[in-house]
């Protein structure tokens, strides 16, 4: 098979690996995403230790079954799987585009090349998938019995279009674009850590293993998550059902949170978020990295049969 014929499978492999990673991580972490989202949009109670456990007890008391912790699963599955599929394809293509311009430098990408590639891929993904995240946020932030609550992703799409038009699907896009810095920092750190870890092996000793991917992706996520978390609070509040009557802009959200809740208000839900994103990140990167290796072998075996 020629190199030209391998280009399409490579793009499909990146997309499918990202798609699988998004599904796996969502199934693992969705209940924690529900808790995080409800804490982010909570304007009444102060940020305090133990808030997550109190919220869990309240959900169980008022909403009953385990289904409450999986409300909004469909848009979350669609959003995450599609986002990771698009992200990894664009990230890979942009990296290779930059690398082709670095031929005189042996194709070695620097940390800012990784930052630019991941940031650009993140912006494209954010614009493409923002409508899904608006619906997902509204479903996760309320119980199914809440007045006007979306019953499904289709019902949410119809209600949102009728009540707010096309612009409603792009609520929170500005802070999401700012939040691209999170992914850019994460992938910059992850790629640099992979290079550093690879150099620590004796030449030809071995490739990175599952434990390496878990450790490196976790460190990169903690670094990026701690640095950029406040934008998630701002975005979540702009995507609420009553955002129109509460906030006028992202700047207004920042001003109100600062005035009423102080610095701690920008970190509401950080605990469950870190608790959520670690297993989610481990699953995402492990499934992605392993899928990239396994899928080509599966394709080769299929083509030979």
Residue 192 has pLDDT above 80, yes or no: yes
CB atoms within 10 A of CB 106: 7
Confidence (pLDDT) at 6? 45
Q: Is 305 helix (H, G, I), strand (E, B) or coil?
A: coil
- Of all residues in the chain, the percent with pLDDT exceeding 70 is 88
pLDDT of residue 94: 93
Residue 55's pLDDT band, with cuts at 50, 70 and 90, is confident
Domains of the chain (ranges plus CATH)?
Answer: 3-304 (1.50.40.10)
Q: Quick count: other Cβ atoms within 10 Å of Cβ 76?
A: 28
- Rounded to an integer, the average pLDDT of 259-282 is 84
pLDDT at 203 over 60: no
Tell me how far apart the alpha carbons of residues 166 and 4 are, in angstroms, rounded to a whole number: 40
Spatial separation of the C-alpha atoms in residues 9 and 65, rounded to whole Å: 43
Q: For residue 58, which of 33, 50, 273, 236 has the smallest C-alpha distance?
A: 50
Q: What local confidence, expressed as pLDDT, does residue 1 receive?
A: 39
More confident residue, 246 or 198: 246
Q: Closest Cα to residue 144, out of 30, 68, 41, 54?
A: 68
Residue 205 has pLDDT above 80, yes or no: no
pLDDT given at position 103: 61
The mean pLDDT of 27-50, rounded to a whole number, is 77
Residue 302 has pLDDT above 80, yes or no: no
The whole-chain average pLDDT of the chain stands at: 83
Over the stretch 74-117, which tens digit does the pLDDT of each residue have?
888 888 899 999 999 999 999 988 888 766 555 678 888 999 99
Q: What is the mean pLDDT of residues 204-209?
A: 69
CA-angle at 57, arms to 53 and 58, nearest 5°: 115
Specify the pLDDT at position 124. Answer: 95
Q: Give the whole-angstrom CA distance, residue 222 versus residue 249.
A: 28
pLDDT tens digits for 139-179? 887 777 777 888 888 988 999 999 999 999 998 898 888 87
pTM exceeding 0.85: no
Output the pLDDT for position 118.
94
The answer, yes or no, to whether residue 2 has pLDDT greater than 50, is no
Predicted confidence band of residue 259 (pLDDT cuts 50, 70, 90): very high
Task: Return the higher-pLDDT residue of 3 and 302.
Answer: 302
Residue 49 confidence (pLDDT): 63
Full DSSP string of 206-260: ----HHHHHHHHHHHHHHHHHHHTHHHHHHHHHTSTTHHHH-SSHHHHHHHHHHH
For 208-231, how does the pLDDT look when each residue is reduced to its tens digit (9 = 90+)? Answer: 888 899 999 999 998 898 788 888
């Amino acid at each position: 098979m020629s190199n030209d014929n391998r280009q399409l499978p490579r793009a499909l492999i990146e997309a499918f690996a990202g798609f699988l990673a998004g599904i796996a991580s969502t199934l693992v972490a969705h209940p924690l995403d529900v808790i995080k989202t409800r804490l982010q949009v909570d304007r009444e109670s102060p940020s305090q230790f133990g808030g997550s456990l109190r919220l869990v007890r309240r959900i169980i008391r008022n909403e009953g079954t385990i289904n409450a912790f999986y409300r909004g699963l469909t848009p979350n599955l669609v959003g995450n799987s599609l986002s990771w599929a698009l992200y990894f394809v664009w990230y890979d293509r942009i990296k290779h585009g930059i690398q082709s311009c670095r031929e005189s430098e042996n194709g070695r990408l620097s940390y800012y090349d990784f930052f630019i590639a991941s940031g650009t891929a993140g912006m494209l993904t954010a614009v493409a998938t923002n409508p899904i995240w608006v619906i997902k946020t509204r479903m996760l932030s309320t119980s199914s019995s809440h007045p006007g609550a979306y019953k499904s992703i289709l019902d949410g799409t119809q209600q949102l279009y009728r009540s707010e038009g096309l612009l409603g699907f792009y609520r929170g896009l500005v802070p999401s674009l700012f939040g691209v810095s999170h992914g850019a920092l994460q992938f910059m750190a992850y790629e640099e850590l992979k290079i550093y870890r690879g150099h620590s092996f004796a030449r030809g000793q071995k490739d990175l293993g599952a434990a390496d991917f878990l450790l490196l992706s976790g460190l990169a996520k903690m670094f990026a998550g701690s640095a950029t978390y406040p934008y998630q609070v701002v975005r979540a509040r702009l995507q609420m059902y009553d955002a129109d009557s509460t906030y006028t802009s992202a700047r207004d959200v920042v001003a109100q949170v600062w005035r009423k809740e102080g610095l701690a208000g920008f970190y509401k839900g950080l605990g469950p978020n870190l608790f959520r994103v670690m297993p989610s990140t481990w699953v995402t990167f492990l499934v992605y990295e392993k899928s990239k290796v396994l899928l080509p072998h599966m394709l080769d075996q299929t083509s030979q049969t």
